[in-house]
Chains A and B, each alone.
Chain A
Amino acid sequence: AQSVTQPDIHITVSEGASLELRCNYSYGATPYLFWYVQSPGQGLQLLLKYFSGDTLVQGIKGFEAEFKRSQSSFNLRKPSVHWSDAAEYFCAVGGYGAAGNKLTFGGGTRVLVKP
């Protein structure tokens, strides 16, 4: 069965500092990996995705993530955080099977940005 672990429930970072959110996954085949962001009262917005190819993927809002197969990780990074990045971030792993498109989400990491 596929699973996703986000070890950090909360992270507080100063505006302008760098940010790294951890994600570890368990999946039996080559995974499809996603990072979504959710602002308060909103749905989920896709930041970036990894299907194949270059293991360093660029996303929107200045985010990037690196797929490391040997570590079963897909960590999200941003070099310089803005106050608008305060939100909850979800890592997800997916695969295409008999049940179609099935995503499994991690528990999320809530990011607080200090002025």
Chain B
Amino acid sequence: ETGVTQTPRHLVMGMTNKKSLKCEQHLGHNAMYWYKQSAKKPLELMFVYSLEERVENNSVPSRFSPECPNSSHLFLHLHTLQPEDSALYLCASSQERQLTLGEQFFGPGTRLTVL
């Protein structure tokens, strides 16, 4: 595997289900991100992990719970979601260095449908 991979690619779940999205990066990067892409809305940053520590949480509802066990893996745990949470969830990674900005590499996304 190369680059950034995400599983599953498609997920349909009911509002009472619990599921998890998985992201893995094979680039040796030290930062990972979750984005939400909804129809007709700009890409929204949800969470940022740098060196496995969460550094940004853009007021995301608690029904989304991220986990970053190591620098290569990132999870998004989902529970009691709402239909408006249906979207494409994108994972990205970058190599961050002091006082500069790394290029973010994106995975193909998980298309989530909440019934």
Which residue numbers of A lie inside 8 Å of B, CB to CB?
4, 32, 34, 36, 41-46, 49, 51, 90, 94-96, 99-108
Contact A106 B42 (CB under 8 A): yes
Which residues of B have CB within 8 Å of A4? Answer: 42
Which residues of A have CB within 8 Å of B56? Answer: 99-100, 102
Interface residues of chain A: helix, strand, loop or mixed (majority) = strand
Q: How far is the CB of B7 from chain A (nearest CB, A)?
A: 13
Contact A107 B42 (CB under 8 A): yes
Contact A90 B43 (CB under 8 A): yes
Given A101-B48, A102-B56, answer yes or no on A46-B42 (Cβ-Cβ < 8 Å). Answer: no
A-B contact count (CB 8 A): 62
- The residue of chain A having its C-beta at the shortest distance from the C-beta of B99 within the complex is A96
- The residue of chain B having its C-beta at the shortest distance from the C-beta of A9 within the complex is B40
Which residues of B have CB within 8 Å of A107? Answer: 41-42
Contact B48 A102 (CB under 8 A): yes
- The residue of chain A having its C-beta at the shortest distance from the C-beta of B10 within the complex is A41
Q: How far is the CB of B79 from chain A (nearest CB, A)?
A: 25
Contact B4 A43 (CB under 8 A): yes
Contact A49 B103 (CB under 8 A): yes
The yes or no answer to B101 lying at the interface (CB within 8 A) is yes
Contact A43 B45 (CB under 8 A): no
Top 6 A-B residue pairs of the complex, sorted by shortest distance between their CB atoms: A43-B106, A105-B43, A44-B106, A43-B108, A32-B101, A99-B56
- The residue of chain A having its C-beta at the shortest distance from the C-beta of B6 within the complex is A43
